[in-house]
Structure 1
Amino acid sequence: MRIVSATRDVDAPADRIFELIADPSRQPSWDGNGNLTSAEVGQRVRAVGDVFIMTISTGDRRENHVVEFEEGRLIAWKPSEVGRDTPGHLWRWELKPIGPALTRVTHTYDWTGLTDERRIPRAEANTGDRLLASIDRLAALAQT
């Protein structure tokens, strides 16, 4: 399956959860895939077209091109090697408030457009369990 997602209700307001996602420097603290090691402070995502840079577990840097954005509700990006076109996979976070301090969080990895055959084994390793692990870690941070 080339689209994998996980959903969980989190006991925290959507804006608090969104801040943890939209600030790349916070992402390594909740990444359930073990892919991210660091990102410089000051790259807070604010709009479609923004690009933020992460260092991944291999030590390489990745540009992340924001392709969907709605403040407090939706953010999605396509990663690429620095200075290269995106190979076509996408990470998406959707937040739906279902109460003042309760949010339905959906995390999706979509690799239907992946064009780089070398990346397919890594794409296949991104299971629903790994996506849920990211939501669980994000929830632990947002609920404190």
Structure 2
Amino acid sequence: MLATVVSASRDIAAPAARIFELIADPAQQPRWDGNENLAEAHAGQRVHAVGDMFTMALTLGVVRENHVVEFEEGRRIAWFPAEPGQQPPGHLWRWELEPLDEAHTRVTHTYDWSQLTDLKRIPRARWTTADRLADSLARLAALAEGS
């Protein structure tokens, strides 16, 4: 049976607030994307609450609207991507941050496609493995630890 929920965790030597800014500001996301799928997001879309939506241009040239469904400042953020003006097809990206102390944070990145309804997206969903999530975590760590 193929896992439809994959995740990876990493301890990062940076405060949770610094790491969260890199995640909650969509303009920063292409800098750490281990899937090499994100091209750019306009500045000024920083997420602040459930119900927020941000747009992202993908490397394939398409745009996604990302609907924020979980949010706790500095701790958790999750969104469902969708084609502009459409309902999300059911795959979720989640980030959870657990401060270990003032200068260290355990970060867990999860991709959940257990509710995916668009069969065309299944090959790409299968391609998104825990190793690719770990790549994003490694890039995120390099940015956060170098700040």
Fold conserved (TM > 0.5)? yes
Q: Distance in 2 between matches of 1:117 and 1:12?
A: 39
Matches within 5 A, 1:96-115: 96-115=98-117
Structure 2, unaligned stretches of length 5 or more? none
Aligned counterparts of 2:138 and 2:85: Cα–Cα separation in 1 = 33
Q: Give 5+ residue unaligned stretches, structure 1.
A: none
Deviation sequence 1:96-127 (CA, Å, 0-9, x none): 00111000000000000000000000000000
**Match of residue 143 from structure 2:** 141
Q: Scaled by the length of structure 1, what TM-score is found?
A: 0.99
Number of equivalent positions: 144
Superposed structure 1 runs of 4+ greater than 2 Å apart: none
Q: 1:84 aligns with which of 68, 83, 86?
A: 86
RMSD over aligned Cα, in angstroms? 0.3
SS at match of 1:106: strand
Q: Following TM superposition, by how much is the alpha carbon of 1:10 offset from its aligned partner in structure 2, in angstroms?
A: 0.4
The alpha-carbon deviation at position 57 of structure 1 amounts to 1.1
Q: Percent identity?
A: 65
Q: TM-score, normalised by structure 2?
A: 0.97
Q: Distance in 2 between matches of 1:57 and 1:116?
A: 20
Paired amino acid for 1:110? D
Select the residue among 8, 12, 15 that pairs with 1:13. 15
